Chains A and B, each alone.
Chain A
């Protein structure tokens, strides 16, 4: 463990995108070139992002790992730190520590069909996965992307979904609990998309990210479809303050989500997953 992971390095905001009224993407560059050169991440890993004078929050990295020059974090304005981060502008400075945790098992997924199911802003941690698969399209089987949102206005990156959908052997399915005007996706929970999906064989892998009730419902469907629990991977969120497996907040039974996760094989955590209080 590098001691540099114990305190942040400065990063400058070089682009800012207001995705929805409450969601902002910040693209940043580490200002110390030596730190930037060392920084490499796996899709699914996260950074601790620091707002000066306020504090840190864990945020997944939503940019392509092949882009070694900049990083993007997509933030929903829900708390003290995220509220301040969402208000920052190009040129402002933040702190970054990371990357932390274990990402998605992309090597295991090679030559297999990949099912990606996300809810809400849950798509942010898997955008780099989708880009990764799309950029190495021949190394993977079919790609099925299912995304659900509460209200159709919450859907971000519409143009990404359209672009992915245009790739061969790729199916994009969208659902909104409440569909607004001009919504041509499914109205209802994300599980309704299973009826429309051309679900692949048992030898596929599924990556899920989003609110836990949604993940629970989707995992149940995947198992019913015949997917083994060892082929289902989920990204978890818990309170994280140190990201080093020491402060104790993110413990999930005997696991430290920050260190042993945030991506877990469902088979390893199914005994506790969905249990209230863990």
Chain B
């Protein structure tokens, strides 16, 4: 660990632009939350006034709405559909290209990943936890994904502690939020008139030193503690605690799998918005030029028929088996594979499910509340 003295400083809201300027000066492209198409999404940020000011979200199973409030804050909302996943694990990208000459000889070229330093502002604790999980998958010692690795190494993460969890959030019960503990370069706690900022890495420390911060007052620190406690206490949903791997695999024939399947559309929305789902399909992208072909990958979902297809046989032909695969993997097999559950409590799969299936309710019905 690089030695850095934790500095806890207060950055007035009107000086937030300094952070942007410093990051840009350091060569970073800045991405931050913006309201687009009725949702909060990560997009390129040019100026502070593009941040969502006085914006909140109301979320419930199968429901997500952006609402206008009179708050002066920029980060007084719960997560939108995107996590950090699309920034490091692209929804679609080229893996390699093939050229074929007129004699039919073929040659292959691996695709390089073009990326530059990228600062993401407004990262939530649940998404930092999800990124750490994707790191375990894509950066495993014996098999590093070069595309993911290049984008991951280029990230500078400015976390903002979540003060407004939605009705669908349950990060407190998974231990992944609402306050971030690690995995960030800078961490901000938003107050009405500004931000209490601290660094979590040497790179973050370097940026922080250039900002016009003054020492945070005891009152400000107390306000931060208070709002973080509130953000934990206001969460009503929770996952059954502990490692559910054994109990889930002991309940493969539980009748509730069929009950969920009768509602589930097998649409894959949950896997698309899930910040830890990593499945991808590979295919050749068609071209009219007979001399070239491109091999791409794109996000796949265990809810599709093709996901389990092998020469004439579909292993998971019906929704019951697909939902069971998703849940037993996410909350079960992940423990054996990556040392912890694959769920970080962001609640996206609940909000963005078109029929409002609630993961926490379904798993509780299957394993009981206290396994």
Residues of A within 8 A of B (CB): 1, 3, 6-10, 31, 50, 52-56, 76, 78-79, 82, 91-95, 237-239, 241-242, 244-249, 251, 253-254, 259, 271-272, 275-278
CB pair A1 B311 closer than 8 Å: no
Tell me the number of A-to-B contacts counted with CB atoms below 8 Å.
Answer: 125
A91→B328 CA distance, assembly (Å): 47
A52 contacts B98, CB within 8 Å?
yes
| Alpha-carbon distance A262/B173, docked complex (angstroms) | 37
Task: Assess A248 versus B108: contact at CB under 8 Å? Given A7-B96, A7-B295.
Answer: no
Give the most central of A78, A246, A277: most B CB within 10 Å: A277
Closest chain A CB from B48 CB (angstroms): 39
CA of A244 to CA of B104 in the docked complex: distance in angstroms? 28
Cβ-neighbour of B110 out of A6, A10, A242, A247 (below 8 A): A6
Question: Among B284, B308, B332, which residue has its beta carbon within 8 angstroms of that of A53?
Answer: B284
- The residue on A at minimum CB distance from B293 is A53
Question: For the complex, is B252 an interface residue (Cβ under 8 Å from A)?
Answer: yes
Question: Could you say which residues of chain A place their CB within 8 Å of the CB of B144?
Answer: 1
Contacts of A237 in B (CB 8 A): 310-311
Partner of B106, one of A54, A95, A249, A253: A95
- Judge whether B137 is part of the interface by a CB distance below 8 angstroms: yes
B283 within 8 A of A: yes
List which B299-322 residues lie within 8 A (CB) of chain A. Answer: 300, 302, 306-312, 315-316, 320-321
B279–A248 contact, CB under 8 A?
A: yes
Q: Does B336 contact A (CB under 8 A)?
A: yes
Task: Please determine whether A239 and B310 come into contact, CB atoms closer than 8 angstroms.
Answer: yes
**Does B236 count as interface, using CB distance less than 8 angstroms?**
no
B258 proximal to A (CB < 8 A) = no
Say yes or no: B146 contacts A10, CB within 8 Å. Answer: no
- Asked if A54 and B337 make an inter-chain contact with CB atoms under 8 angstroms apart, the answer reads no
Contact B282 A239 (CB under 8 A): no
Q: Are B307 and A7 in contact, CB atoms less than 8 angstroms apart?
A: no
Q: Which of B282, B316, B329 has the most CB of A within 10 A?
A: B282
Measured between beta carbons, the chain A residues less than 8 angstroms from B143 are 1, 244-246, 259
- A-B pairs with the 7 shortest C-beta distances? A248-B279, A277-B321, A254-B336, A7-B96, A254-B333, A241-B282, A53-B293
The interface residues of chain B lying within 8 Å CB-to-CB of A239 are 306-310, 315
22 pairs of residues in contact across A and B, judged by CB atoms under 8 Å = A1-B143, A1-B144, A3-B110, A6-B95, A6-B146, A7-B95, A93-B104, A239-B308, A245-B143, A246-B137, A246-B143, A249-B308, A251-B329, A251-B333, A253-B249, A254-B333, A254-B336, A259-B143, A272-B249, A277-B252, A277-B324, A278-B315
**A4: nearest residue on chain B (CB-CB)?**
B110
B281 within 8 Å of A (CB atoms):
yes
B28, CB-defined interface residue at 8 Å: no
Would A248 and B106 count as touching, CB distance under 8 A?
no
- Report the nearest A residue to B292, measured CB to CB: A53
Cα–Cα, bound, A254→B328 (Å): 9
- Chain B residues with a Cβ under 8 A of chain A: 95-96, 98, 100, 104-110, 137-138, 140, 142-146, 245, 249, 252, 278-284, 286-287, 290, 293, 295, 297, 300, 302, 306-312, 315-316, 320-321, 324-325, 328-329, 332-333, 335-337
**What's the minimum C-beta distance from A6 to chain B, rounded to whole angstroms?**
6
CB-nearest residue of chain B to A6: B110
> Given A8-B108, A254-B333, are A246 and B145 also a contact pair (CB < 8 Å)?
yes
Cα–Cα, bound, A95→B312 (Å): 23
Smallest distance from the beta carbon of B295 to chain A beta carbons, Å?
Answer: 7
Judged by DSSP, the binding face of B is mixed
Cα A239 to Cα B282 with chains together (Å): 11
Q: How far is the CA of A249 from the CA of B281 in the complex (A)?
A: 8
A238 to B329, CA, bound (A): 16
Instruction: Tell me the nearest residue of chain B to A247, going by C-beta.
Output: B280
For residue A261, give the distance in angstroms from its CB to the closest CB of chain B: 13
Chain B residues in 8 Å Cβ range of A93: 100, 104-106
Q: How many angstroms from the CA of A187 to the CA of B243 in the assembled complex?
A: 50
Q: Is the CB of A10 within 8 A of B108?
A: yes
Contact A246 B138 (CB under 8 A): yes
Which residues of B lie under 8 Å from residue A52 when comparing CB positions? 98, 100, 106, 293
Given contacts A53-B290, A76-B311, 11 further A-B contacts (CB under 8 A): A1-B143, A10-B108, A50-B98, A54-B284, A78-B311, A92-B104, A246-B145, A247-B297, A253-B249, A253-B336, A277-B252
CB B24 to nearest CB in A, in angstroms, measures 33
Set of chain A residues within 8 Å of B105, measured between Cβ atoms: 10, 31, 93
Q: How far is the CB of B328 from chain A (nearest CB, A)?
A: 8
**Minimum distance in angstroms from A109 CB to a CB of chain B:** 26
- Within the complex, the shortest CB–CB distance from A12 to chain B, in Å, comes to 9
CB < 8 Å neighbour of B249 from A50, A92, A249, A271: A271
A249/B279 contact (C-beta < 8 A), A93-B105, A276-B321, A277-B321 known: yes
User: How many angstroms from the CA of A55 to the CA of B144 in the assembled complex?
Assistant: 23
| Residue from A3, A79, A95, A277 within 8 A of B325 (CB atoms) | A277
Asked if B283 and A55 make an inter-chain contact with CB atoms under 8 angstroms apart, the answer reads yes
Report the minimal beta-carbon distance from A183 to chain B, rounded to whole angstroms: 25
